Amino acid sequence: MNLKNYLESGIIENYVLGAATPEEAQELERLSQQYPEIRREIEANQFALMEYILECRQEPPLELRDKVIKKLAALEEEDLLAAPVEAKPLTVAYKARWGSLKPLLAVAASLLLLVSMGLNLWLYQNWQKAESALRTSLLGNQQFAQQTSLQRQQLAQATQELSVLKNPATRLVSLEGVKEHPEAQVRVYWNPQTQEVYLQVKNLPEPPTGKQYQLWFVDGQKVMDGGVFEMGDFAAQLQKMKTAPRADAFVVTLEKAGGVPVSEGDTYAVGKVS
């Protein structure tokens, strides 16, 4: 694994802000045990966030303290009641006046005790089984809900993309690679009425660590920042960029990650609005 790439990938920040997926979080927790650098990075971010949270602290109303403490005391009682009760059957029935029956009763009592213990064990196992089945099905539900919500998001995105493409006012601008990067190819969809700009990568090399591609709008002599865009899995999707009120050309350059106010990197692709 490339540690530096991982540290800069943004996964740690997401995890600290609680936005990582369960899989990402699990992996990160495992890696943090393995790599002290990752662990230090997580902690440094967590502590910064804690300071932020601490600034928002506020005393809860006084009566809430009693409510909470009472609630916990009730839970404690519940726990005690739920603790397994030892089986003590039949000892009450045992009396000296049963004299001659004593050995027989003792045997019977032992037998009953055994039966009762066996029954307890059986019930306990059943209960455990039922509980684990319940847990599995709850987990299944949760995964299903997550999947549905993901699909809903994807559908919403696809619908939006379609509406952009179908809009007759939307103009397609093909950005072709410059001499140094002839393979570069990017499409820009621009709607001059709504000023919305969407970008789709057709072909661009993956940028090196710490770099990101950035879009620019050219309007006469003015060059305006169109925002940075993602590569990797996002490259094929339509990515929403900043809005462009006017433009006669679009340019893609490679800049410092996060983008720069004035371009300082290499130009990759250029396309004129026809």
Partner 1 sequence: MLTSSKPSLEEIELVAGLKQKNRRSFESLYQNYSPALYGLCLKVLKAEEWAQEALQDSFVKIWRKIDTYDESKGRLFTWILNIARNTAIDKLRSRAYQDHQQGQALENTRMAATENSYLVVEHIGLDSLVARLAPEHRQVIEAIYFGGLSHVEAAQKLDLPLGTLKSRVKIALRELRKLT
- CB nearer to partner 1: pick between 201 and 273: 201
Kindly report the number of other CB atoms within 10 A of residue 167's CB atom.
14
3-state DSSP assignment of residue 90: coil
Residue type, 251: V
- CB nearer to partner 1: pick between 10 and 182: 10
- CB nearer to partner 1: pick between 73 and 138: 73
CA count, 13 A, side-chain hemisphere, 8: 12
Check: CB of residue 192 under 8 Å from CB of residue 202: no
Q: How far is the CB of 120 from partner 1 (least distance, A)?
A: 24
- CB nearer to partner 1: pick between 58 and 100: 58
Q: How far is the CB of 109 from partner 1 (least distance, A)?
A: 36
Task: Catalog residues that contact partner 1 under the rule CB under 8 A.
Answer: 8, 10, 13-14, 16-19, 29, 33, 40, 43-61, 64-65, 67-69, 71-73, 75-76, 79, 153, 157, 212, 227-230, 234, 239-242, 257-259
Kind and range of the H or E element at 214? Answer: strand 211-219
Q: How far is the CB of 130 from partner 1 (least distance, A)?
A: 20
Q: How far is the CB of 165 from partner 1 (least distance, A)?
A: 18
Residue indicated by tokens 């927790």: 29
Check: CB of residue 191 under 8 Å from CB of residue 169: yes
- Distance from CA of residue 36 to its chain's centroid? 23
- CB nearer to partner 1: pick between 153 and 193: 153
Q: How far is the CB of 206 from partner 1 (least distance, A)?
A: 14
Alpha-carbon gap, residue 157 to 159, rounded angstroms: 5
